[in-house]
């Protein structure tokens, strides 16, 4: 069914690409996520929009199925690439940075189209694998040693404050942001599209922050949400997307979200030694593992 003028349809597709960062097809959620980026840093909102638009257009030119394009499934990796490549210093100037964002977004679309059939044969979703495969080497080559995308600030609050801030920032860090307001805006966008997914994500983010503290993580990093965002994505993916609804799915989703904490610690430590961020590598690995376990248990969708 037609969705209105061409420009409006195109805008909806791009916004769905932003929404798909958190597994949503609702363009309204994408608009809310865009608002969170705009509040934190307008340049990142522009980079995310450009990344989603360019990766979608590239996928269309390369022959991606129209249904996937309309759902925004070829926009979210490009949006994340746009944000990540815009965040890092090191490009010679704004023109080079813009070119890097656009080229990186286009490349994620091509990586996705190559990777998807291979993963499909293994029964695994693409997730943000194209973004990680593209962004890490580009950041290493172009920007050199950089460290975390959003360095943690010193944390001066008590335990309750650290956990609360870490829980909210776990949502902000999905888009590589930091701050209570951006985090709340991201959470509100998820609530608009999928209240049940929000519940899973809140539990996962808070539990991840608590586990990280128990494992001895720095309070500043915990409060910044650096140990929550992978769990947020894992919980949504397994608890609301790839597993059949039920208590078993919830248990597996939340258990996997906790596993994402030590996995992220290991990966971030290895990549950090090379001056690179952990990005969403832990989310991809843990979710793939969760899908495989769910298939063995007979609770995977399809």
pLDDT digits (tens, 9 = 90+) for 163-196: 999 999 999 999 999 999 999 999 999 999 999 9
Average pLDDT, the chain: 93
Q: How far apart are CA 20 and CA 38, in angstroms?
A: 18
Is the dihedral angle over the CA atoms 270, 137, 129, 45 positive or is it negative? positive
pLDDT digits (tens, 9 = 90+) for 268-293: 999 988 888 999 999 999 999 999 99
Residue ranges of domains in the chain? 6-143, 159-297
| Closest of 147, 75, 127, 133 to residue 106, by C-alpha | 75
For 6-143, CATH number? Answer: 1.10.3430.10
Contact 157, 226 (CB under 8 A): no
Domains 6-143 and 159-297 share a fold: yes
**Exposed, middle or buried: residue 127 (CB in 10 Å: 0-12, 13-18, 19+)?**
buried
DSSP H helical ranges for the chain: 6-19, 27-40, 42-61, 66-70, 76-87, 94-121, 129-138, 159-172, 180-193, 195-214, 219-223, 229-236, 247-272, 281-297
| Closest of 192, 193, 187 to residue 228, by C-alpha | 187
Q: Which fold has domain 159-297?
A: Ammonium transporter fold (1.10.3430)
- What is the pTM assigned to this prediction? 0.94
């Amino acid at each position: 069914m037609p969705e209105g003028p061409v420009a409006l349809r195109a805008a909806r597709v791009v916004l769905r690409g932003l929404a798909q960062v958190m597994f949503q097809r609702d363009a309204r959620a994408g608009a809310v996520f865009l608002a969170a980026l705009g509040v934190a840093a307008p340049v990142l909102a522009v980079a995310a929009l450009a990344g989603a638009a360019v990766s979608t257009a590239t996928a269309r030119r390369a022959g991606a199925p129209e249904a996937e394009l309309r759902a925004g499934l070829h926009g979210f990796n490009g949006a994340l690439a746009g944000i990540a490549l815009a965040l890092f210093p090191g490009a010679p100037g704004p023109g080079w940075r813009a070119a890097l964002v656009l080229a990186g977004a286009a490349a994620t679309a091509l990586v996705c189209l190559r990777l998807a059939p291979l993963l499909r044969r293994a029964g695994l979703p693409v997730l943000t694998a194209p973004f990680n495969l593209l962004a890490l080497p580009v950041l290493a080559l172009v920007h050199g040693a950089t460290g975390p995308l959003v360095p943690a600030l010193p944390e001066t609050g008590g335990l309750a404050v650290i956990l609360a801030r870490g829980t909210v920032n776990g949502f902000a860090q999905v888009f590589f942001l930091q701050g209570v307001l951006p985090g709340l805006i991201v959470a509100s966008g998820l609530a608009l599209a999928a209240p049940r997914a929000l519940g899973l994500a809140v539990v996962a983010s808070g539990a991840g922050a608590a586990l990280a503290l128990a494992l001895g993580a720095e309070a500043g990093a915990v409060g910044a949400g650096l140990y929550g965002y992978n769990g947020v994505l894992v919980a949504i993916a397994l608890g609301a997307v790839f597993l059949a609804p039920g208590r078993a799915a919830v248990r597996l989703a939340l258990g996997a979200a906790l596993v994402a904490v030590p996995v992220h610690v290991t990966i971030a430590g290895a990549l950090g030694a090379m001056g690179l961020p952990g990005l969403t590598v832990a989310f991809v690995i843990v979710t793939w593992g969760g899908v495989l376990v769910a298939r063995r248990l007979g609770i995977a969708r399809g």
